[in-house]
Amino acid sequence: MSSSPINIAIIDMYDGTTNLGMDCIENILKDWSSLNNIPIKYEIFALRNECRIPNHTFDIYLSSGGPGSPNDSEGEKWDQLYTSWLQEMLDLNKPVLLICHSFQMACRHFNLGKVCLRKSKQLGVLPVHPLVEDPLFNNLNDPFYALDSRVYQIIEPNDENIASLGAQIIALEKHRPHVPLERAIMAIKFSDKMYGVQFHPEGETNMLLQFFMEDQMKNTIIEEFGIEKWEVIINKLNDPHKVTKTYENFIPNFLKRAIEKDSD
């Protein structure tokens, strides 16, 4: 392995709002670098509020989740910058991981399915079901668990466009046989190096526990969903085989695959 640091670009899609996502992503990168003795450099690009987008010279790209509608921004300057960047990354076959809001926007841009509101908000530590064997799922169970926080979803896959792009749906949301609704798409392999996920693989247990146990957040969840929902979230966060396992493996698996592919 070269002693030159791996250059990583992080696109911040949180529009200047307070969030845990970016902190968790930075922690994963630092831990992975230290654990594997691989030097890295990373730069953060605040896209939505500063219209900053990385160029093509980085080795790896991570694009975060964020608030709001993935549809309503279409035509705005930052949205146009982002969709042009998505196309460039795909054409150049760059290693990219798209999380939640970023994933939804990519599905909209490439027209891989219907990007729409859910019937109700989804929030919790929920199962994700892999559909294929893939290096990103190494050391994870079927199902594995991750933080799922979304108002929007991807359903009704456009099989023709998926096939034309050479993409593949690789994970779906939990089984709900008692609910007469289509299961949402939870992950797509856009290309050999570009992946997108609906869930939050960056969620770290202790940071999430602190977040969900804050009085304001606890009361908000209880008012919207009931006390049982909050208790289930806390209990699942305390299970070391759920969020912790995903945090320790999913993005590190992506990083490992990215540098292996670059060295081929």
Query: Reduced to 3 states, what is the DSSP secondary structure of residue 78?
Result: helix
For residue 88, what pLDDT is reported?
Answer: 98
Nearest residue to 189 via CA among 52, 71, 90: 90
For residue 3, what pLDDT is reported?
Answer: 73
Percent of the chain with pLDDT over 90: 90
Whether residue 262 is predicted with pLDDT greater than 80 in this model: the reply is no
The model's confidence at residue 18, banded by pLDDT at 50, 70 and 90, is confident
Q: What is the pLDDT of residues 206-238, one digit of tens each?
A: 999 999 999 999 999 999 999 999 999 999 999
For residue 1, what pLDDT is reported?
Answer: 44
Q: What is the pLDDT of residues 133-189, one digit of tens each?
A: 999 999 999 999 999 999 999 999 999 999 999 999 999 998 776 666 789 999 999
Match 């779906």 to its residue by tokens.
Answer: 172
- Contact criterion met (CB below 8 Å) for 113 and 103: no
Task: Write down the pTM of the prediction.
Answer: 0.95
Q: What is the pLDDT of residues 61-94, one digit of tens each?
A: 999 999 999 999 999 999 999 999 999 999 999 9
**Domain range summary for the chain, segments of one domain joined by +:** 6-117+153-203+246-263
CATH class in words for 6-117+153-203+246-263: alpha beta
Q: Strand 114-130: give its sheet, edge to edge.
A: 40-46, 6-12, 60-63, 96-99, 194-197, 185-189, 168-172, 114-130, 144-155
Q: What is the pLDDT of residues 90-126, one digit of tens each?
A: 999 999 999 999 999 999 999 999 999 998 888 999 9
For residue 220, what pLDDT is reported?
Answer: 94
